[in-house]
Amino acid sequence: MEPPSVDPVSVGERLRLPAEQAAWARGLESAGPVHKLRLPPRSEAPEVLRRLAVVAEDAAEILRGWPSEQWPRELVWLLERVVAVVRADMGGAGWLELGPSLPRGRGPA
């Protein structure tokens, strides 16, 4: 049996997002072309972050939240759409509008 599909409403419910974040997630439905999340394995991530000149403190935080198979499908859905928003804006002249901060109390992911 195939798991139920993920949509913006189920993302907000499953991740228990406050109203502002849930509304923002619903807006990501039209993020543009969405591709399956493809990241290097966590074991290779420190070298990638070093090559990108990510500050050590930021790299440590990124690594604490590095996506894994344990992530809920809804969190992967959210990340894929945020990446799509950034891709769609590549080459744009302005700054992207920041999305709301997600609740940090739910872990580094």
pLDDT for the residue 48 = 96
Task: Say what the pLDDT of residue 30 is.
Answer: 80
Largest CA distance in the chain: 46
- Residue 103 lies inside a defined structural domain of this protein: no
Query: What's the pTM value of the predicted model, to 2 decimals?
Result: 0.78
Total length of the chain: 109
- Residue 14: inside a domain: yes
- What is the spatial distance between Cα 91 and Cα 69, in angstroms, rounded to a whole number? 32
The answer, yes or no, to whether residue 89 has pLDDT greater than 60, is yes
pLDDT tens readout for residues 17-72: 888 888 888 888 887 788 888 889 999 999 999 999 999 999 999 999 898 888 88
**For position 85, what pLDDT does the model report?**
87
The total of structural domains in the chain comes to: 2
Look up the domain containing 1 and give its range.
Answer: 1-34
